[in-house]
Amino acid sequence: MAEIVVVGGGLAGLAAAARLAKLRHRVTLIERDPTIGGALRGVERDGFRWDAGAATTTLPAVLRDLFRKSGRPLESYLDIQLSNPSRRHVFTDGAVVDLPTGSRAAQITAVDAGLGDGTGLQWAAYVDQQADRWHLLRSLVLDDPRGGSRLSDREVVRQLDARTSLAQQLKRSLPDERLRAVVSSSFELAGSDPARVPAYAAVESYVERNFGLWQLPGGMAALIGALAARLSERGVDVRCRETVTRVMTRGDAAAGVETSAGHLVSADVVVCAVDPRVVFGQLLALSLAGKARRVFDAARPVTPPCITHVGLRGALPDLPAETVLHGNPLIVIRQQLHPLVSATHEATTGPHSESAWTILQRGGHDVDVLATLASRGVDIRSQVVARVDRSPDEVVAETGGSSYGFEWDGWRASAKRAALTNPLPGLHLIGASMHPGSTIPYAAWGAAHVAERLGKA
Ligand SMILES: Cc1cc2nc3c(=O)[nH]c(=O)nc-3n(C[C@H](O)[C@H](O)[C@H](O)COP(=O)(O)OP(=O)(O)OC[C@H]3O[C@@H](n4cnc5c(N)ncnc54)[C@H](O)[C@@H]3O)c2cc1C
């Protein structure tokens, strides 16, 4: 049995702790905030609730695997639901597409209906191209617990066509500029320029078509609640309100951590699920972190979009999980499945009269987002009964780093960072800013890799 300390109680840290405890290691998890969850915590105000960050996820198989391998099936804790249609796209020329998931034929029909005959087949052909890339990416990189280092392998780069950018690929493969916006908008919302994103990242369009987009009725806070229960069942020692200030080493290997409370926690293995710039810049001695520090100094963390949560009363358009208003600013509206905190509140106000929306806005910050929405034909100003605004700086401060990870800056830079997931014996880095990347499935996938590398006690 190894003594393992996990730093950070966001999804990546929680997932790693659950898996490692099931493998019979003795695990301590240290989180600097009063509660665990990181970017997946909920926000509550005036009886309404919203997801603070992620509201939907692709690849539910990654979460299913996490729960199965750490004890019990996901479904015994959570009622994960397919959202279909998953996303409404509203374009600047007034065209609208409600894009379903799970069916190639349904996507063709929906795109033809919204953008005109022939566009559906154009879209389907583009998504089909991503299928081969997805299978390559999985087998060469994602399913390999040491896959991060493989991204620098010349043959892997060739097979993935990693040098081609998303912008180049879209120009080549999708004549309709609205369809190009369907692909590029999710990267733009997440702070990246499609000219710096490697084309293989477009596999997400195939992943979503094939495996769907999923939501949880209680929001992502329910996922955190379920993981907290797993950790407690597995005897993980969870310590909140303690900040890790140093990774201790013995020789050139990790040997534990020191916390802001002055506690020394010795360990055979340290798993850091926090911003790697903090790990290499502050927690590790310069003599050990030198080269890696330079690699991460060159990386730009994603600045989150402006976020506004609103509680609304009265009749509203029936929106899918996400509505993307293309143009400048780019706006995404996320509809919460169960908008009210308590059933009592729901009973007094009527079950269908309340909604909770989260509005993410990239660009155009000098105008109030509700005024911008009104100018785009969605005027909800008279229906707002609760509101919480969170600036990009506040969102970064909440988690101590970017939960969106780093901006894409070509494959080479991400390959260099990915190769540093296990920079010294006994030290492993996971989470949104490490390989395989941000968003729920990839943050949880990194945790699976570390468990596989360490194996059974
Ligand atoms: C606004 C927003 C919207 C998003 N939307 C989606 C979406 O729709 N779908 C999706 O899949 N993903 C989405 N994401 C991304 C997804 O939420 C994240 O990639 C994922 O939750 C990151 O998990 P993590 O554990 O790596 O990091 P985090 O959640 O950032 O957790 C890091 C944790 O470490 C703690 N910590 C930091 N430093 C220390 C220290 N020194 N000592 C101890 N603890 C420390 C922090 O307090 C925090 O709890 C979104 C993110 C944001 C911000």
How far is it, in rounded angstroms, from Cα 229 to Cα 236? 10
Query: Residue 27 falls within a domain, yes or no?
Result: yes
* pLDDT at residue 140 tops 70: yes
What is the pLDDT confidence band of residue 357, given thresholds at 50, 70 and 90?
very high
Q: Ligand 1: which of 5, 399, 429, 434 to mutate, most ligand atoms within 8 Å of CB? A: 399
Mean pLDDT to the nearest integer, 136-164: 93
- pLDDT tens-digit series, residues 43-55: 999 999 999 999 9
Contacts of 455 (CB under 8 A, 6+ apart): 23
Last residue of a domain, one of 167, 184, 212: 212
Same domain for 247 and 162: no
Per the structure, the complete domain to which residue 249 belongs is given by 3-40+69-80+217-301+401-454
Q: What residue type is 207 in one-letter code?
A: V
> Residue 312, SS3?
strand
Same domain for 199 and 126: yes
Last residue of a domain, one of 177, 212, 247: 212
**Number of domains making up the chain:** 2
Query: Residue 332 falls within a domain, yes or no?
Result: no
Q: Are 244 and 283 within 8 A, CB to CB?
A: yes
**Whose C-alpha lies nearest to ligand 1, atom 16?**
439
Give the pLDDT score at 219: 93
- pLDDT tens-digit series, residues 65-93: 999 999 889 998 899 999 999 999 999 99
Query: Residue 334 falls within a domain, yes or no?
Result: no
Same domain for 135 and 29: no
Distance from the alpha carbon of residue 345 to the mean position of ligand 1, in angstroms:
30
Give the pLDDT score at 342: 80
Query: Residue 355 falls within a domain, yes or no?
Result: no
Query: Residue 53 falls within a domain, yes or no?
Result: no
Same domain for 267 and 186: no
Ligand 1 atom index nearest CA of 405: 19
- pLDDT tens-digit series, residues 99-126: 999 899 999 999 999 999 999 999 999 9
Q: Ligand 1: which of 439, 442, 445, 450 to mutate, most ligand atoms within 8 Å of CB? A: 439
Q: Are 15 and 37 within 8 A, CB to CB?
A: no
Distance from the alpha carbon of residue 403 to the mean position of ligand 1, in angstroms:
4
Ligand 1 atom index nearest CA of 52: 1
Give the pLDDT score at 353: 86
Average pLDDT value for the chain: 94
Give the pLDDT score at 100: 96
How far is it, in rounded angstroms, from Cα 6 to Cα 261? 17
Same domain for 195 and 287: no
Query: Residue 317 falls within a domain, yes or no?
Result: no
The share of the chain scoring above pLDDT 70, in percent, equals 98
- pLDDT tens-digit series, residues 393-420: 999 999 888 899 999 999 999 999 999 9
Same domain for 233 and 208: no
H/E segment holding residue 429: strand 427-429
Same domain for 293 and 250: yes
Q: Are 198 and 408 within 8 A, CB to CB?
A: yes
Ligand 1 atom index nearest CA of 36: 49
- pLDDT tens-digit series, residues 236-261: 999 999 999 999 999 999 999 999 99
How far is it, in rounded angstroms, from Cα 297 to Cα 299? 6
Question: Which protein residues touch ligand 1 with a CB less than 6 Å away?
Answer: 7-13, 30-33, 38-40, 53-57, 243-244, 273-274, 304, 307, 395, 399-401, 403-404, 431-432, 438-440, 443
- pLDDT tens-digit series, residues 427-452: 999 999 999 999 999 999 999 999 99
Query: Residue 52 falls within a domain, yes or no?
Result: no
Query: Residue 137 falls within a domain, yes or no?
Result: yes
Same domain for 208 and 97: yes
* pLDDT at residue 351 tops 60: no
**Whose C-alpha lies nearest to ligand 1, atom 13?**
54
Same domain for 418 and 295: yes
Same domain for 134 and 195: yes
Give the pLDDT score at 343: 58
Q: Which of 83, 106, 95 is nearest to 182 (CA)?
A: 95
Q: How far is CA 451 from CA 70, 121, 428, 446, in A?
A: 11, 42, 10, 9
Q: Which two tokens stand for residue 449?
A: 């890799």
Give the pLDDT score at 364: 82
Same domain for 200 and 116: yes
Last residue of a domain, one of 212, 234, 250: 212
Q: What is the CATH number of the domain that holds 24?
A: 3.50.50.60
> Residue 369, SS3?
helix
Ligand 1 atom index nearest CA of 8: 34
What are the start-end ranges of the H helices in 165-285?
A: 166-173, 177-189, 203-211, 220-233, 276-278
Same domain for 296 and 414: yes
Distance from the alpha carbon of residue 399 to the mean position of ligand 1, in angstroms:
6
Ligand 1 atom index nearest CA of 15: 25
H/E segment holding residue 444: helix 440-454
Q: What is the DSSP letter of 100?
A: -
Q: Ligand 1: which of 207, 398, 403, 433 to mutate, most ligand atoms within 8 Å of CB? A: 403
Longest Cα–Cα distance of the chain, Å, equals 66
- Strand ranges of the sheet holding 269-272, from the earlier edge strand across to the other edge: 237-239, 26-30, 3-7, 269-272, 427-429
Give the pLDDT score at 348: 45
Q: Which two tokens stand for residue 61?
A: 């198989």
